Structure 1
Amino acid sequence: MTTYGPSHDVIIIGAGFAGSCLAWMLKDQPVRVALIDRNLQYPPSFRAEKLEQQQADLLDKFGLLEARQPLADPISQVECFRKGQRYHEDVGLQYGIHYTDTVNQLRTQALPHVDFYQGKVVDVITSSTYQQVQLENGKKLTARLLVLATGGNVINPLAFKLGMRQQATRELRSLSFAFDICRADGQPYDFQSFNYFLDPREHQIDYVTLFPIGDSVRINLFTQWHPKDMRVRAMRRSPMQELDEYFPGLFEQIGDSVLTGSDKVALFPTQYYQLSKVEQPGIVVIGDEFQSVSPATGKGLSKVLTDVDVLSGLIPQWLETDGMTVDKIQQFYRHPDKQAVDSLAKREWVYLADNALHPEIISKVKRKLAKLMGVG
């Protein structure tokens, strides 16, 4: 009797930032990779819009820094305004990016090295030997390892089917806004980047930052507001007026400014969660699908890229021996580099909330987080 092996070594569900980078990183290994996504092109999305130095270094290590879009000059110095004082900080090399364009370029880089399938995954079966994926059109694929990289915020039904659950802390939330501006007089700004910090206890606002993305100047405003807060509607309706109210003297510092383009104010809400019951045979969950991050911390892409770095190093080792057992999967979740960046992202989010929320709420948050330490 003939025995047939799996169609691939690794199946990656989700060709976003994490999935595309992981597929690229496996290209030089003797690994057969299937990459699955519902969309041929990554759809418009407001996510990370700035590469920090450490994130740029990892992309450079991967050979993907030139995939960022646009290919603009880096930011090396940030003007800061806090408590009436203006000062500057050297920040190494940062890059403003269009997230959607960058993901599509990463995907373009990865696709020649994988079997790409456009479609929705409707079912998965996992085990310590082979994993099976079924697409909506009925096609079935098999592999030794399944990687779930579908972005998070709302738990993927496939993860839910496997018994995984989002352990959330609703009091720990973040709501970010983004839009483009320019000086009213048409002149360029006299800074590379500008951050204005408030006392977060006053308005539950972390800070506002201005930075270039190509020829545009982008504003990111980071708050801890609930999406149904009345202030959200006001900010989306009249962002310049609201900025002037919350950030006294902002336009004296940067110059009178106006909205540019016809795009609406982009909005990204999230709350803290970490996926539980993830240490299962045959499957790994990476990026925001595993744990959320406050955009205000700037750690989102650090988590994603560290997951890719760690996992791309482990996969070839795992494939050298039979099986995809829990002890192999645990090596990823318990890797010190992964645990360090996950823990740092969590601590920095708690720090932001600690400065903005009532002490009784913070105590409640910390008790909940204590229960989420570790994974299982």
Structure 2
Amino acid sequence: MKYTDIAIIGGGLAGSTAAVMLGRAGVPAVLVDPHRAYPPDFRIEKLGGHEQIARLQSTGLADAVLRRATHDGVNWIARYGVLLDKPPSLQFGIMYDDLVNTIRAEIPDQVETIVAKAASISASADRQRITLSNGERISARLAVIANGLNVGLRHALGIERKIVSRCHSVSIGFDLVPLGRAAFPFPALTYFSERPADRIPYITLFPIGSRMRANLFVYREADDPWLRELRRAPVETLNAALPRLKRLTGAFGVAGEIKIRPADLQVNSGYRRPGIVLVGDAFRTTCPVTGTGSDKVFTDVERLCNVHIPAWLATEGMDEAKMAAFYDDPVKTACDAWSEAKAYNFRKVSIDNGLHWRAQRLARFSMWFAKGQKRRLGNAFRRPRGLTARQAHPAE
């Protein structure tokens, strides 16, 4: 039997981040994951925005992660083939496996990583006993369940998963390449749907290294023939759905594999139990369209590792009341509620044809256009005498 304070089950974004934070704080911990190096996986491919980067910074991992990511600097905003604005951007592109493996490289040596699966767990208010697929056993004061969508362990504990919105959205990832020229004219581009009937909220183009990565989001069923057609003829299908996109991109091709991932919105019941705590997607899933998945992960792990685990370890036992302090943490619950509301709101504002949502769309794009006009006027007034707009502001 291996004894430790914290056993972390799952070494994706949540589990690996927790392992780093606990190890740096000197808390005895063991990380259990079936992969020595995290394999390619189509999940988060971009971090961005002041709030999200601030949440990453709260984990102490921002420097390591952002050094490996590609910062675009400026993100063009467009719809109907019309450029609305070119705001400064705090977006960083990084493939999910690179993100997780970069974080894993920061795990201190005193945190042991065991390459195996957690086969079973026996939970109590004292110690948690975990049996691994390789026959090893772990006794821990607390088990952190961070194994994402794998439900077997949770079901064995009596935790039930409920799908509250099946196939809420579908994420599609691929590389876009310019045809007939060396590069696209923009550092990054977010292009919004031209028609609600196409069921596309937006496509975002952003660099990862020398590649221009595309993340396309749609509100369709997982077996929709449109998705099969996109795989078969991606350029033609994109041009039919977003006919004026090429005014900004020029002629383009699609390179490499097209990844498609449907996303259900899922919640759990019966998770308030002694000795175990669920974080990230293991607790509650998010809609990738909103980009809030990493916000929830970083918030969960920061609150757990910086606030609750140190307090729990200071006294005996791991009863249900201690776990409740994490689940009821006001910072965590606010982030969860914000992410959930955004998932439903974004879908409505993208595809609902009700009067309210049509007005919301109009207001949204009018606001971006006004911001763009204000930015262009400001740049014109700041332009040194004798210089053209291109000479004064080459990034634009």
Equivalent positions of 1:191-340 (< 5 A) are: 191-198=186-193, 201-260=196-255, 263-313=256-306, 314-340=308-334
1:170 equivalenced with 2:165 (yes/no): yes
Partner in structure 1 of residue 181 of structure 2: 186
Give, as a single letter, the amino acid of the residue that structure 1 aligns with 2:316.
Answer: D
Offset, 1:83: 4.1
Secondary structure at the aligned position of 2:345 is classed as helix
CA distance in 2, matches of 1:52, 1:76: 11
**Are 2:143 and 2:277, in contact at CA under 8 Å, matched by a contact in 1?**
yes
- Please list every run of 5 or more consecutive structure 1 residues that lacks an aligned counterpart in the other structure: 360-376
**Are 1:194 and 1:211, in contact at CA under 8 Å, matched by a contact in 2?**
yes
Offset, 1:322: 0.2
Offset, 1:74: 1.8
CA distance in 1, matches of 2:302, 2:88: 23
CA distance in 2, matches of 1:143, 1:331: 19
Secondary structure at the aligned position of 1:259 is classed as strand
Stretch of structure 1 that moved more, 321-330 or 271-280: 271-280
- Answer with 1 or 2: which has the greater Rg: 2
CA distance in 2, matches of 1:186, 1:71: 27
Offset, 1:268: 1.2
Secondary structure at the aligned position of 2:297 is classed as helix
Q: How many residues align?
A: 352
1:136-182 Cα offsets, whole Å, 9 max, x none, are 22211101000000112xx4211011111112123561101010012
TM-align CA RMSD? 2.0
CA distance in 2, matches of 1:353, 1:98: 25
Offset, 1:294: 1.0
CA distance in 2, matches of 1:169, 1:79: 34
1:280-327 Cα offsets, whole Å, 9 max, x none, are 100000001111111110101001110111100210110000000111
CA distance in 1, matches of 2:165, 2:343: 13
Pick the aligned partner of 1:136 from 124, 129, 133: 133
Equivalent positions of 1:36-75 (< 5 A) are: 36-53=32-49, 54-68=51-65, 71-75=68-72
Pick the aligned partner of 1:343 from 325, 337, 340: 337
Equivalent positions of 1:113-132 (< 5 A) are: 113-132=110-129
CA distance in 1, matches of 2:230, 2:37: 30
CA distance in 1, matches of 2:232, 2:315: 58
**Are 2:8 and 2:29, in contact at CA under 8 Å, matched by a contact in 1?**
yes
Give, as a single letter, the amino acid of the residue that structure 2 aligns with 1:143.
Answer: A
Give, as a single letter, the amino acid of the residue that structure 2 aligns with 1:210.
Answer: L
1:29 equivalenced with 2:25 (yes/no): yes
**Are 2:81 and 2:246, in contact at CA under 8 Å, matched by a contact in 1?**
no
Q: CA distance change for structure 1 residues 73 and 219 in 2, over 3 Å: closer, same or farther?
A: closer
Partner in structure 1 of residue 347 of structure 2: 353
Give, as a single letter, the amino acid of the residue that structure 1 aligns with 2:264.
Answer: Q
CA distance in 1, matches of 2:87, 2:169: 26
Give, as a single letter, the amino acid of the residue that structure 1 aligns with 2:48.
Answer: E
1:47-103 Cα offsets, whole Å, 9 max, x none, are 011101222223233332233377344233221112453212535411001111121
**Are 2:70 and 2:94, in contact at CA under 8 Å, matched by a contact in 1?**
no
**Are 2:164 and 2:267, in contact at CA under 8 Å, matched by a contact in 1?**
no
CA distance in 2, matches of 1:40, 1:26: 19
Q: CA distance change for structure 1 residues 127 and 272 in 2, over 3 Å: closer, same or farther?
A: same
Give, as a single letter, the amino acid of the residue that structure 2 aligns with 1:27.
Answer: G
Pick the aligned partner of 1:18 from 14, 17, 25: 14
Give, as a single letter, the amino acid of the residue that structure 1 aligns with 2:172.
Answer: F
Q: How many percent of aligned residue pairs carry the same amino acid?
A: 33
| TM-score normalised by the chain length of structure 2 | 0.84
CA distance in 2, matches of 1:71, 1:30: 26
| TM-score normalised by the chain length of structure 1 | 0.89
Give, as a single letter, the amino acid of the residue that structure 2 aligns with 1:117.
Answer: I
Secondary structure at the aligned position of 2:286 is classed as coil
CA distance in 2, matches of 1:128, 1:91: 50
- Please list every run of 5 or more consecutive structure 2 residues that lacks an aligned counterpart in the other structure: 355-396
Stretch of structure 1 that moved more, 18-27 or 163-172: 163-172
Offset, 1:258: 1.4
Give, as a single letter, the amino acid of the residue that structure 2 aligns with 1:280.
Answer: R
Offset, 1:200: 6.0
**Are 1:180 and 1:218, in contact at CA under 8 Å, matched by a contact in 2?**
yes
Secondary structure at the aligned position of 1:222 is classed as strand
Secondary structure at the aligned position of 1:7 is classed as strand
Partner in structure 1 of residue 367 of structure 2: none
